[in-house]
Amino acid sequence: MGFDVDTINMIDCETDERFMRQALELAREAAAEGEVPVGAVIVRDGTVIATGRNRREVGRQALAHAEIEAIYGACAALGGWRLSGCTLYVTLEPCPMCAGAIINARIDRVVYGAPDPKAGSCGSLTDLFGMPFNHQPLCDGGVLEEACAGVLRDFFRTLRQQRGG
């Protein structure tokens, strides 16, 4: 099923920004709950089929990343684990765990906002999508990068102030 080159070329910046804004709203909701502000949206055929946001602190669960939550929701919505034809929008470059889940779920395309130099696995620290796994998602970074980075900066600044440092 996946995307062909012509389909990818037809995807425009406005569409990416529209769905990234939805992911940013989810990131803000996560921040309001005291979570690291990361939001994710999975889209198929121009329709949002699942969303997620970080819930590690609330759920006391190491696996509760925004991407994982969105993947669970998309699998439930589509009735299977293969998410071919889907694009994942996420405000922060995926970590190794999430990049692995994206590969295993067969998501065709990932669009992220801010790079993550400490754990980013789509090119910043390492590039799992460029390795010879059985599936290699397309990846575009930097969509609404400043807004996505700003939400993270503000969150950590506030956290440092609250902790007195």
Catalytic residues: 67
59: which residues sit within 8 A by CB, 6+ positions away?
Answer: none
C-alpha 11/C-alpha 7 separation (Å) is: 7
Q: Are 143 and 39 within 8 A, CB to CB?
A: no
Looking at this protein, which amino acid is placed at residue 54?
Answer: N
Summarize the chain as % helix, strand, coil (round to 5): 45, 20, 35
**How many residues can be counted in the chain?**
165
Note every long-range contact of 71-75, with CB atoms under 8 Å and residues 24 or more positions apart, other chains counting: 71/42, 71/101, 71/102, 71/105, 71/107, 73/42, 73/49, 74/42, 74/44, 74/49, 74/50, 74/105, 75/105
